[in-house]
C-alpha cells in the first residue's frame, strides 16, 4: 500500500519531489522474522485491518539507518470524507513529518525534509473510498497517476499475494518519470499473527532501469489491527542523481 506509505507516500522526498505510497505498498523482496512454518498460520481479514488502519490514522515513526541516519516522526490523521483536487470522492488524511538527521548528505536532506514546502508542513493524502488504495489527487501538473486499484482480500494466510495498484509518476513535470506497481504478500509470523509485506517497485521511463524498491513489513493481528515494523528502501544510481546505489532502513517504534 503506499501505507508504504501513504508510505506512503513511500519515496516522498528526493530532488524529484516524490509524492509515497503505500499502498507501499505498501508492495516481493525479503521479509524478516517470524516462524517459517505455515502449518499453524492463521487466516485473517486483511481488508478490514487495512481499512481500520487507514481510516483511524496511523504513525510510522522511528529510527533511520543506512545511507541516511537519524529519526523520523511521521503521522497520518484519521480520514475525513471529501473530494480530491479533481473533485472526485475521497477519504483525506493529513500527513505530518519531522525528520532529525545526523550529518546528512544532500540526498538525505532532500529525501527527509520534514515536509518543507507543504502548507503548514501538512501534506494531503487522498484514498479511494472503495478500495482504500492511494488515488490520483488531480494536481496539475500531475504527480502520481494511479490505475488498476484493487481492494485487499477479506481472507489471507501465508502465501497470499497480489497487486494493489499500478501508477505513473510525473513528479510535477509534463512527461512521466517513473512507472511502477504496489504489490503485497503474506508471510508466516506467530500462531496468531501474520506478516504483511508491501513493495513499491518503480522503473525509470527514460531508460527502463530500476529506480527504487521500497518494502514495508507490518504485523497483522487477529483483532484486525496493524503494527508497522520496518521499511527498506533500495534506490539506484539512475534515480539518486549522484548518490549512487543506496540502502536506507527505517525501524518503527
- Averages of pLDDT over runs of 10 residues in the chain (253 residues) are 36 42 31 48 97 96 97 97 96 96 94 87 95 93 94 97 97 94 98 98 97 98 97 96 94 93
Contact 195, 31 (CB under 8 A): yes
Contact 221, 214 (CB under 8 A): no
Identify any residues that bridge with 2 across adjacent strands, giving them in sequence order.
22
Give me the pLDDT at residue 58, please. 96
Give me the pLDDT at residue 179, please. 97
Give me the pLDDT at residue 230, please. 97
Q: How far does Cα 53 stand from its chain's mean position?
A: 13
Taking CA atoms, 89 is separated from 15, 92, 137, 229, in Å, by 30, 9, 10, 31
Contact 19, 12 (CB under 8 A): yes
d(CA 181, CA 4) in angstroms, rounded, equals: 12
Give me the pLDDT at residue 144, please. 94
The conformation of residue 191, written as its DSSP 8-state character, comes to S
| Domain extents in the chain | 2-252
Amino acid at each position: 500500500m503506499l501505507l508504504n506509505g501513504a508510505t506512503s507516500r513511500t519515496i516522498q522526498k528526493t530532488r524529484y519531489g516524490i509524492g509515497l505510497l503505500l499502498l507501499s505498498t505498501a508492495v516481493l523482496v525479503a521479509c524478516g522474522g517470524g516462524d517459517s512454518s505455515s502449518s499453524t498460520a492463521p487466516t485473517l481479514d486483511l481488508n478490514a485491518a487495512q481499512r481500520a488502519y487507514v481510516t483511524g490514522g496511523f504513525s510510522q515513526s522511528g529510527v533511520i539507518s543506512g545511507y541516511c541516519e537519524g529519526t523520523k516522526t511521521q503521522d497520518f490523521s484519521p480520514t475525513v470524507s471529501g473530494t480530491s483536487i479533481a473533485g472526485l470522492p475521497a477519504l483525506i488524511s493529513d500527513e505530518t513529518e519531522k525528520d532529525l538527521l545526523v550529518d546528512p548528505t544532500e540526498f538525505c536532506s532532500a529525501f527527509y525534509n520534514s515536509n518543507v514546502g507543504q502548507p503548514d508542513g501538512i501534506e494531503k493524502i487522498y484514498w479511494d473510498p472503495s478500495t482504500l488504495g492511494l488515488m490520483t489527487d488531480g494536481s496539475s501538473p500531475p504527480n502520481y497517476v494511479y490505475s488498476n486499484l484493487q481492494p485487499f482480500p477479506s481472507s489471507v494466510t501465508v502465501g497470499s499475494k497480489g497487486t494493489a495498484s499500478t501508477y505513473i509518476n510525473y513528479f510535477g513535470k509534463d512527461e512521466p518519470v517513473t512507472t511502477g506497481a504496489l504489490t503485497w504478500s503474506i508471510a508466516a509470523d506467530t500462531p496468531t499473527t501474520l506478516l504483511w509485506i508491501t513493495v513499491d517497485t518503480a522503473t525509470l521511463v527514460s531508460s527502463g532501469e530500476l529506480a527504487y524498491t521500497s518494502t514495508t513489513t507490518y504485523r497483522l493481528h487477529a483483532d484486525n489491527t496493524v503494527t508497522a515494523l520496518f521499511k527498506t528502501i533500495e534506490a539506484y544510481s539512475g534515480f539518486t542523481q549522484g548518490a549512487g546505489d543506496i540502502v536506507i532502513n527505517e525501524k518503527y517504534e
